[in-house]
Structure 1
């Protein structure tokens, strides 16, 4: 048996040198604290049900090993004075903290503010049965830069607040730079929270685990299957010995039935066709197949779905295609924020409650808005049949610097910062591309962090589209969702509130005019709101003061649903009359002072009249079918039982 001590220095978001912020709610060093859930400004039905064993599920279903140990739970923590503070060896960190969680969240037990630099520690025992192989330490995500020490030695540095990373710690258990000013951070903000930018998340905010691996072990698995049964697999390994591997694909409903079994070589693409045409994955039939990869003395479990996404000209109009048919994707803007966990859902049941609600209302898609979720989120979408438009988390946004003449120019990345953004974009695509539900990638949202000058005769988003396409040629790409559109990517993607303007000859500045050489898509619309009683509000005065900035506020739920019916019908007419091929309604839930969700921020109030919304959404799919789209039925009415998700 071996005991390991691990210290983690987690650096938050972006460099804030010179900022005048003097508020701290981090527990003082001299007052040790034991873990307890703090009282957040607003709780959810799951807040006080979490316990000390959060997220016990295996965190990475598409690359799963048999022998593993979950390190989630109570860790030790303290704030650090800065990036150059030496590791606190032989010191007992005074505070208990829940991992995974945002330090700013109530669930963490800290509920801190301005937690720029931090130390975390834990200890764990490596099972004796693992002694003949390799021991891998995995982090789902740490925001934003992590320095990892084990038993007195610095062993790794990882940069990127959304990237999963793995460290081979075998050799350490056998007996930084400061972040730049513009990092991919999505809607987090430290210095100027406002109506559309929210509480930040720092620390270890996704699962941590160790696992046993063979000497020749898999570091990444790329797996894709098209609608005709062509499989593309690339098994990336370390310490390759023979390079031999085998893939076995089984029908999930009939586990004894092997769809395909083929030997191949690792560390390179291997393409083959299954012996029979597989059942295809789609929103109304989300069929998944179990996969085994045998390599280097170990068996990796995974899964896949067979589907093909394309951009094709149909009768003079460019359409998104799924399995050879025009599909009309319609979903919500999904921020992925929680009042008790900030960036982290309290547990898997809470996370899937949101997704089940979307399916029940009638949506077939979700736009994951400038945030990367844990792998289990995408697995849930794979299983439920929800298409995913995955946004790249944006760099620090524009309109952040105010000069003496009161102008507020966009804050754009320098060369190093842009290189970091491009690196993180590639890592996101590599990390998520094996999930069959991912339908499209979004590179920039509304010009945030987007370079606006030509380089080598063209705009850089064209190069980024090429980069994403080279990493994943099987998906569609929205280069610039909203505006600042120079013609790159598959979509002519407009944002308009509250009314849609999708594929139409009219448009609203700064949204771009419709480009008929690409797919007409309404990247955001709706956004209508409805105020709530204090019991369901985020009880932070700055947020309450900005409620009236919501695009439209309706007096009551009857008027909210009446207005929604108007906008959905207007959207349907644009499908019938023009070239509209899909859209995104804002949004899944309220977030802090933004009261325009289908659900309240605490998930206790469902604003939608299910009969109204399901009728109008089905009519929308029917209108698209009349223009050549596949028939899509939202199915029989269902009850949204919150109690089943507690």
Structure 2
């Protein structure tokens, strides 16, 4: 047999690679980013994937792999060519994988060669992340399985390697997605609403790394600015001597020696502190030696900063960065991409989102129920963006039925891995254990566990809804908001989600229809004005209620959810960045605030105005725009007729606020029903089942059931967890004449009609959202209709009111009657 020369084999392999690359192309998806054109079989995420423990020698295994979706229990396909090709590390469901098809199990296969000068070293095979259960075969030898979709893992494959030639690598992945109770974040097989397309299989970089038999395995760094020390713990495969050198540029800022497996404290006299405004990073060089011989060298970096709780001037809990009070403002960041789903197309794309968040004037970001590749945190460290890191949630819809002791253990294991794996990043300032009660269990114990693992950061027991009064913050969600939790002395009050202002901008949308936001707007100008209004509310809450942080929903549109600051393809930034930054940093004059909550009055009314920063207020009541020459506000404005008020505040430097407009309408109260009616306590109801996005015409539908009830508690009537509707009809007893405000909180849509007038319209599919309206009423009984529907995932309906001499309170059964 004749053997071909090595050069000819290399040429043949090169030509094959070129041919394969020429044949590959992304699948045709609904939308793509500008960075997708920078992706191809020979240019797939070439950057070193572990920036906090860098070695010079490594081999990137990203690129075209073979794949098949034959049964997970099929025989390992050793030596076999698989049916298709997939671009690793993009999820099989993504356009950039070249496949864009769902799967719950995948076989991957490729071959590689080890450089001859690596062959006398240990060979580590690294996976950045694979979703979900992974078994690896190298030349037929099995490694694993590893379970978990968000953490990196490594196998020492040295003993499975052949002395030379092609090495075969096969990866088997099984992923139950939302049919299981494992951490999955917002991935679902059937995307809708706030849940998005799933990620299955390899979705972060795969790489090889040669190391000495004595090598560094893990690195843990804790800044201690109080004592000007950097505490470093180096673990190694075997005992050895460690030297830690801290560099400020080329200058040695500190140096310390110790033993592997033991803590080392490196003094850094007068350390430069890391902040979002000045994210200074020290370079850290670590060498591992035995008997004076260097065995391993890694390069890292560290930021000297301190995160803690303190008290503000009024004794309320507050958040401190480097012992200084800091207000945190940032977006909710889902980390999804239209062409790569969980995986950004390129490192530049990953960096772009963080740059835009900084440009928009944010100092923080909440990474929402997803763990990113390490390079995302690297850019947050380097560019200066603080991070609230969520633990990915189990799927909330199926959790109660699918939860097992094994799934609880798996959640806890992945929680531990997240904290340990991301520990060294100075940008991360808070761990969020649960989101909105999704898959929530053992909250007190798990919150304490995370705090014990990492006392250098804050811990949020649950962002929104299900607060167990433990951890470092009290966190609520409010759409569109804003609101603040009640101030506490031992915890900081934070608004974990608010906003959600929706604005679809074709052709930059995932679909042409069914796009939604928590509050929909029509133009970028409308969006800018409404955003400024929300942020003024946030700044007011910070001053009045001690609010310490606010998270706006969200960085980008994601699939049909169009409440992003940017479109899903990142082509359009919906807010003017310089104006948004000025609003976020509170650099503009604060707009006038109307202190009276009512816009209706019966005889006369008095309108007091204030500004948060005590600026001069000018106003008009003739419909004209207010200016410097308009009426100067000095005392509450007296009105006796319907009036359109416009007001604006003016700062010392000639800047003015936006115009605040309010129309105050003189009205007559609606008369009560005639006194001769015979009424019975309770209300009538009709119950329906169906799927709607808006309130239907219930009168045209046939109810599943009907009857009377003594309250507006939907749990007493509903026969299904999802996809139902209820209409209540009856009379509402009003105690005295006057103007009343009604508050309607619902998930999903609702509408309140009194005396044939729509008082509150809270229609559409949305999470718990409160809207309010007012009406003038005479004392007595008034006919009302309350309509409601639930789409999916949680049902809420609450009606409350306030009026003359009556503080806000729920509608009581004593006020409900029917004929």
The TM tier, using the shorter chain, reads 0.7 to 0.9
1:59 paired with 2:26, answer: no
Contact 1:34/1:96, CA 8 A, preserved across alignment: no
Question: Which residue of 196, 201, 221 maps to 1:203?
Answer: 201
Contact 2:105/2:173, CA 8 A, preserved across alignment: no
SS, match of residue 434 in structure 2 = strand
Question: Which residue of 226, 240, 245 maps to 1:243?
Answer: 240
Shift of 1:314: 3.4
Match of 2:274 in 1: 281
Instruction: State the structure with bigger RCO (CA 8 A, min sep 6), 1 or 2.
Output: 1
Match of 2:471 in 1: 489
Question: Which residue of 108, 126, 130 maps to 1:138?
Answer: 126
Match of 2:287 in 1: 294
Match of 1:509 in 2: none
SS, match of residue 481 in structure 1 = coil
Shift of 1:411: 4.7
SS, match of residue 571 in structure 2 = coil
What is the distance in 2 between the residues matched to 1:367 and 1:621? Answer: 25
SS, match of residue 113 in structure 2 = strand
5 Å-filtered alignment, 1:30-179, equals 34-52=23-41, 53-81=43-71, 83-113=72-102, 115-175=103-163
1:246-282 deviations in whole A, cap 9, x for unaligned? 111111xx31x111111111123333433x1211100
What is the distance in 1 between the residues matched to 2:582 and 2:402? Answer: 44
Shift of 1:233: 1.2
Give the structure with the larger strand fraction: 2
What is the distance in 1 between the residues matched to 2:556 and 2:404? Answer: 34
Question: Which residue of 519, 525, 537 maps to 2:492?
Answer: 519
Contact 1:396/1:411, CA 8 A, preserved across alignment: no
Runs (5+) with no aligned partner, structure 2:
1-5, 7-21, 164-171, 290-294, 591-611, 614-819
Change (3 A) 1:495 1:516: farther
5 Å-filtered alignment, 1:428-443, equals 428-443=418-433
1:578 paired with 2:568, answer: no
5 Å-filtered alignment, 1:394-433, equals 394-398=393-397, 400=398, 410-411=400-401, 413-433=403-423
Match of 1:372 in 2: 371
5 Å-filtered alignment, 1:609-620, equals 609-619=576-586
Shift of 1:174: 4.5
What is the distance in 2 between the residues matched to 1:335 and 1:179? Answer: 20
Contact 2:481/2:498, CA 8 A, preserved across alignment: yes
Shift of 1:563: 0.7
1:608 paired with 2:575, answer: yes
1:2-48 deviations in whole A, cap 9, x for unaligned? 9xxxxxxxxxxxxxxxxxxxxxxxxxxxxxx9532111111111222
Shift of 1:622: 11
What is the distance in 1 between the residues matched to 2:175 and 2:37? Answer: 34
Shift of 1:587: 0.3
What is the distance in 2 between the residues matched to 1:500 and 1:411? Answer: 34
Shift of 1:179: 6.6
Question: Which residue of 257, 261, 267 maps to 1:263?
Answer: 257
Shift of 1:313: 2.5
1:447 paired with 2:446, answer: no
Match of 1:350 in 2: 349
Determine which structure has more spread, i.e. the larger CA radius of gyration.
Answer: 2
1:537 paired with 2:509, answer: yes
| RMSD across aligned positions (CA) | 2.1
What is the distance in 2 between the residues matched to 1:270 and 1:464? Answer: 29
Contact 2:134/2:173, CA 8 A, preserved across alignment: no
Question: Which residue of 535, 554, 560 maps to 2:527?
Answer: 560
Question: Which residue of 215, 218, 240 maps to 1:217?
Answer: 215
Shift of 1:529: 0.9
Shift of 1:611: 3.8
1:481-531 deviations in whole A, cap 9, x for unaligned? 001111111010010000111245xxxxxxxxx545310001000101112
Contact 1:46/1:350, CA 8 A, preserved across alignment: yes
Shift of 1:131: 2.2
What is the distance in 1 between the residues matched to 2:234 and 2:519? Answer: 50
Select between 260-269 and 574-583 the one with higher mean Cα deviation: 260-269
TM-score when normalising by structure 2: 0.65
1:392-446 deviations in whole A, cap 9, x for unaligned? 0001113x48xxxxxxxx5572211111000000000000010010010000000
Contact 1:498/1:526, CA 8 A, preserved across alignment: yes
SS, match of residue 220 in structure 1 = strand
1:346-377 deviations in whole A, cap 9, x for unaligned? 10111111111111110011110000000100
Contact 1:565/1:612, CA 8 A, preserved across alignment: no
Shift of 1:178: 6.8
SS, match of residue 568 in structure 1 = helix
Contact 2:106/2:173, CA 8 A, preserved across alignment: no
What is the distance in 1 between the residues matched to 2:115 and 2:534? Answer: 59
Question: Which residue of 302, 305, 308 maps to 1:307?
Answer: 305
Select between 265-274 and 357-366 the one with higher mean Cα deviation: 265-274
Runs of 4+ in 1 over 3 A off after TM superposition: 176-180, 514-517, 620-623
SS, match of residue 282 in structure 1 = coil
Change (3 A) 1:108 1:279: same
Shift of 1:609: 2.0
Question: Which residue of 463, 481, 484 maps to 1:499?
Answer: 481
1:157-189 deviations in whole A, cap 9, x for unaligned? 211100101111111115399777201110000
What is the distance in 2 between the residues matched to 1:412 and 1:156? Answer: 24
Runs (5+) with no aligned partner, structure 1:
3-32, 402-409, 452-459, 505-513, 627-646
